Structure 1
Amino acid sequence: MTDSIVTDAADQTADPEGGARGSDFARLSRRITQAGLMERRPGYYTVRIGLVTASFVGGWAVFFALGDSWYQLLVALFLAVVFAQIGLVAHDLAHRQVFRSRRSSEIAGLVAGNVAIGMSYGWWMDKHTRHHTNPNHEDHDPDVSPDVLLWSPEQAAVSKGLPRVLGRWQAFLFFPLLTLEGFNLHVASVRALLRPSTKHRAVEASLLVVHAALYLGALFVVLSPGKAVVFFLLHQAIFGVYLGCTFAPNHKGMPMFRGDEKIDFLRRQVLTSRNVRGGYVVDTVLGGLNYQIEHHLFPSMPMPNLRRAQPIVQQYCQELGVDYLESGIISSYAQALRHLHAVGAPLRAQTATAG
């Protein structure tokens, strides 16, 4: 398990890379620190975690009260949203936005990730660390690996098997495929914990077993087998769509890097990220990840401070002449889907030629 994601708050007043161009980030970091935006927000997180916990407990209380009823499908929808919100809280915990202590963050993350929603906190943290270090880098960012979808023309050119088949029409398949993301998180978690190199694998595996026993036990004790299966499929599908829609607007369709292309820390984070406009409702629904540029520059900045950091970062980027992209939520998805469709164009052309 990686100990922390990218950079701790205490390190973010320093240039992460050094060098003349890297000093651009150091100057921005001083402005952010002077504005007090790296300070913890314990009151905010107490309320947020309290509300999410109450929703989780309340949702399951309604589940047990309803019993063997098809109205449970409404509970499945509600709990899918709650599970996604717990995932967003786990994200903040992993970045040490909530607690200063690494140990406190890890314990809370294991409870939120492994026990509550059945996702390996350690596996996800390692994966997300690599993403933050090299966003949209084809060789280093696991979020743009061509496992199912293709993210660049170069990936499309050498694609084989399922990615090549799906790649032709992947823009149309994107949202349907997100219904499988919840299942994928569980499978990937188990696969990661089967590797001997995974840290704390016994603890994490035990907690995942606890989650599975409680979750599946509740479904099949309270519901008939048919209703239990339908509840499970609907709940996990909506959970996956919600999480996928939370992360999709942030980087998809933004510049990609490969090989040994060199770019300093500030530009690497800003140029590969997209902010999503929307106000407090969007902030809540997307867990603050709509301020993706600010989050990538200062990953341990508490979520509610990202809104206040946004004008400082945007103005600074204008001073430097660095492109800073902010879109509406519909436009952000449209840009991502257009990019996916463009990547698949050569594959469609080959199919048409062969036909």
Structure 2
Amino acid sequence: MRAGGLLDRRTGYYVRDFVITLGGTALAWAAVAWAGSSWWVLALAVPLALLWARTAFLGHDAGHHQIARTARSGWWLGLLLGNLLLGMGQSWWNDKHNRHHAHPNHVGKDPDVGEGVLVWTAEQAERRRGVWAWLARHQAAAFFPLLLLEGFNLKVSSVVHLRSGARRAGRSWRDGRGGRLVEAVALAVHAAGYLGLVFTLMSPGKAVVFVLVHHALFGLHLGCVFAPNHKGMAMPGPGERWGHLRRQVLTSRNVRGGVLTDWLMGGLNYQIEHHLFPSAPRPSLRRLQPLVRAHCARVGLPYTETGLVDSYRQALRHMREVGAAVRD
């Protein structure tokens, strides 16, 4: 992998992606300004949601040190892409996502399978009561509708994280009060700029509907990208200790596809390769895949890859089976 340069940074690729994404976003907002007096402006929420997802993918890659050479540069890049452009706090995302990468699908260690609105194990389901029990029983049917709220959840969770962690000093200035203050200011600038732009370019009624549609589609897109990766895959039991290779491969699922799938999923359809080599740049993942697959075959480790629709089917089947454990 090193000899083939597959772990080297791809500066040219990311510069091009930055220019296309940010330039496309600027053009989309110019189109919003032109169509702001018509209800057709709501149609522009679709390309803006797609472009926000592209920005989120760049922020994801920056958080994994795929783009910048130093942690400091990566932090400022994450601040720009996450806090300022999306209103999504990078410290919240990095903390949550790093814990997920360290222990994917491990209850008690991976926040993505922690007990929340949805449940991921029969033990979590059995503790549900009242309306939460009803939701758990029907969570497979409610999953995609709930994703429409994810765009707002990302913003709320970012603010809650900053408030709860403001007094916890980290290893550097960026992890302590100073870094959190800068993040909070960037989130406030995003909120003021986004709402100011929307309510300036269109009437209040259109602006409210536009914000709702834009964030709903953004959340749905991101949820549809992350849902196929681990849901319904192996989950280490209490006390089980798996090695790095086994832990990352058995809990992850790749999604088969071509250039369009790679683009829509930001390269995260190569989830196994990404988990094994999280700092490998996105354009290298497709070339990493045959090497990883061959190694898994040599050591007798199952390598899971399926189509996009089947990946959703497997994830929803797991959610349905877990929900069936809810007591009447």
TM range (shorter): over 0.9
2:61 aligns with one of 87, 92, 101: 92
Spell out the pairing of 1:1-355 with structure 2 (5 A cutoff): 32-160=1-129, 163-195=132-164, 196=166, 197=168, 199=176, 200-347=179-326, 350-351=327-328
Match of 1:28 in 2: none
Deviations along 1:17-69, one digit per CA (max 9) or x if unpaired, are: xxxxxxxxxxxxxxx22332101111111111111111111111111222322
Q: Could you tell me how far apart the structure 2 residues matched to 1:162 and 1:248 are?
A: 24
Structure-2 separation of matches of 1:89 and 1:334: 28
**CA deviations over 1:216-243 (Å, ceiling 9, x no partner):** 1111122111111100110000000000
Cα distance in 2, alignment partners of residues 237 and 275 from structure 1? 25
Contact map agreement 1:146 1:163 (CA 8 A) in 2: no
CA RMSD between the two structures: 1.2
Query: Structure 1 stretches of 5 or more lacking a match?
Result: 1-31
User: 2:172 corresponds to which residue?
Assistant: none
Q: Is the 8 A contact 1:120 1:189 kept in 2?
A: yes
For 1:312 and 1:221, how far apart are their aligned partners in 2? 52
Distance 1:333 1:84 in 2: 19
Change (3 A) 1:51 1:146: same
Match of 1:92, as an amino acid?
A: D
Secondary structure at the aligned position of 2:267 is classed as: coil
Deviations 1:283-304 (A, max 9, x none): 0100000000000000000001
Tell me the TM-score normalised to structure 1 length: 0.87
Q: What does residue 16 of structure 1 align with?
A: none
> Letter of the aligned partner of 2:4 in structure 1?
A
Equivalent pair of 1:37/1:305 in contact (CA under 8 Å): yes
- Greater shift after overlay, 100-109 or 184-193? 100-109
Q: 1:113 deviation in Å?
A: 0.3
Moved more, 251-260 or 235-244: 251-260
Q: Aligned-pair distance for 1:177?
A: 0.3
SS in 1 for 2:76: helix
Q: Distance in 1 between matches of 2:207 and 2:274?
A: 39
Could you tell me how far 1:117 is from its partner in structure 2?
A: 0.7
Identity of aligned residues (%): 51
How many Å apart are 1:258 and its aligned residue?
Answer: 3.8
Aligned length: 318
Q: What amino acid is the match of 1:203? A: V
Deviations 1:64-92 (A, max 9, x none): 22232211101111111111110011000
Offset from partner CA, 1:147-188 (integer Å, 9 cap, x none): 111111121122345542311011100000000000100100
Aligned to 1:27: none
| Structure-2-length-normalised TM-score | 0.94
Cα distance in 1 for partners of 2:92, 2:160 equals 9
* Kept after mapping to 2: 8 A contact 1:150/1:163: no
